[in-house]
Structure 1
């Protein structure tokens, strides 16, 4: 689409905010925030700046619906509540429907450490309309609830919510980074309950993430500094309520990761590893998953780094591998490929 400059005062204000947050010189009103380099973290910052500047609190899901200056200006200038981004209508549910028309067995994709699921938007589009795709958001991002306290506790909560939608298996789970560790624990818990998980994919997740939290660490200060670096902001500018809630979620999640040791799971696991990594030894050791993936571990490589494999163009390769893996799931009554271990 051709470049279109801001036409109204509202669009000009939003363009200025996009320039500040994304460090781009002149965003057009139809430029996609995420294709310009925006991330889940920077979208939180952008909406916090909108609230500070314009006095309006825009839910993150409304921004995901249409991440364009023109669309956001329309939302801000109207009272319309029509949305194509559909959080599941269950009170307190973390489930977010990212692919609304899918008819295949739902794929539940668990949030990474930041708690939101916007990082999966490009992947959800590329898996095709037939694949029902739900993101599972973290508790606490709204500032009204306490974040999850441990990986097993989060897994139990998410499984309970998912079973309200899908009472019995077969289940399909996936997660990037910390989300992979939670998805693995969810599959393990369901296996212990006698349920069948027919697909479990870990997107560059680690069984034993590095970066322990030593006793006495001022984790709040560390998280604030991390966000300041990631968002290119001064630390004192991160006290807006939306960002305070995000900081609290990050603190809880980092503690949960540091304290977690995965237990064995007897189902098949697909690990999708980023090719560009700094720790080749850990990569060669299958990110630590093989000893606990007792039902078999298949490892595939995806171009990019841990943080770029979900972005174009790398996400195209990731989606292709996932589509092939999902197509290969045996239909009910076909035992031909169950129980096989790949490497």
Structure 2
């Protein structure tokens, strides 16, 4: 990771178009670390980090603005001619918009992989304590922590409880790890809140005619992932597990097989001239 580029290089070497991973709502690049063992060794892999995740940059509350920043970061970090894109959850929505921007600028996007990503206009986004609860449960589930004790504490709070009051209650109840103290949770919640606001306000337009692979968790709703209404060439692959367990154990192995399949199906010859030099 470099301070200037906010990119986590998971694998630096390889001759195929780099697999560029867009962070989920947490803004963290680290959930993508398992991809080092899932993707063929001849492909570089990198993950972007959201402004404000681990630096002093302010969080970005506009999805087009967030995408523009990622595009600039990506071009500085790796000035290639072609990029394979992958995004999990909200990261898939941003990756979709990023693919549109790259193709409009003349670059090749040989693969766009949406991992269990809901179309943002097909769901109501939570507010108030429900938003705080979603943040906490997402944070715990992403790291493989149990969510039920925290959910029980949050369910017992008054409906108008502030995030700070909720985080203090969780800390006092001892249902979150010690390193997730209220000040840390408030910092990360500010980023989550900005990203959820950006997601709720975003309306995808323009369509997309490049190859898209939707990798959906078997336990997730297919009706909320109707990317075929926004793209003309969508292949859906279903892997066992839920939104979080697909990054662990058997779900992770199935995710790896799905990724290798869609990347090999859409690879371009690295010696071909695609896009601006």
- Bin the TM-score by the shorter chain: 0.7 to 0.9
Q: Distance in 1 between matches of 2:244 and 2:184?
A: 23
Equivalent pairs counted in the alignment come to: 239
Q: 1:242 to 1:99 in 2, by over 3 A?
A: farther
User: Larger relative CO (CA 8 A, sep 6+): 1 or 2?
Assistant: 2
Q: Which residue of 2 aligns with 1:323?
A: 260
Q: Distance in 2 between matches of 1:259 and 1:290?
A: 21
Q: Which residue of 1 aligns with 2:34?
A: 122
User: Which structure has the larger Rg?
Assistant: 1
Q: What is the Cα deviation at residue 218 of structure 1?
A: 6.1
Q: Distance in 1 between matches of 2:270 and 2:95?
A: 25
Equivalent residue in structure 2 for 1:247, among 179, 189, 196: 189
How does the TM-score come out when normalised to structure 2? 0.76
Q: Which residue of 2 aligns with 1:287?
A: 225
Q: 1:108 to 1:333 in 2, by over 3 A?
A: closer
Q: Which residue of 2 aligns with 1:270?
A: 213
Q: What is the Cα deviation at residue 103 of structure 1?
A: 3.8
Equivalent residue in structure 1 for 2:247, among 288, 310, 317: 310
1:204 is aligned to 2:116: yes
Asked if the contact 2:119/2:224 (under 8 Å) is kept, the reply is no
Q: What is the Cα deviation at residue 243 of structure 1?
A: 2.7
Asked if the contact 1:269/1:293 (under 8 Å) is kept, the reply is yes
Q: 1:334 to 1:225 in 2, by over 3 A?
A: closer
Asked if the contact 1:275/1:304 (under 8 Å) is kept, the reply is yes
Relative to structure 2, which stretch is displaced further, 102-111 or 179-188?
Answer: 102-111
Q: Which residue of 2 aligns with 1:97?
A: 9
Gaps of 5+ in 1: 1-86, 336-343
Asked if the contact 2:84/2:111 (under 8 Å) is kept, the reply is yes
Equivalent residue in structure 2 for 1:164, among 48, 69, 76: 76
Q: 1:304 to 1:221 in 2, by over 3 A?
A: closer
Q: Distance in 1 between matches of 2:52 and 2:46?
A: 18
Asked if the contact 1:143/1:242 (under 8 Å) is kept, the reply is no
1:177 is aligned to 2:114: no
Q: Distance in 2 between matches of 1:133 and 1:158?
A: 15
RMSD between aligned alpha carbons? Answer: 2.8
Gaps of 5+ in 2: 141-145, 154-166, 172-179, 273-277
Q: Distance in 1 between matches of 2:43 and 2:268?
A: 15
Q: What is the Cα deviation at residue 312 of structure 1?
A: 1.1
Asked if the contact 1:108/1:174 (under 8 Å) is kept, the reply is yes
Q: Distance in 2 between matches of 1:274 and 1:323?
A: 17
Structure 1 segments, 4+ long, off by >6 Å, are none
Asked if the contact 1:213/1:255 (under 8 Å) is kept, the reply is no
How does the TM-score come out when normalised to structure 1? 0.62
SS at match of 1:183: helix
SS at match of 1:272: strand
Superposed CA deviations along residues 290-309 of structure 1, whole A, max 9, x for unmatched, are 11113x11111111111111
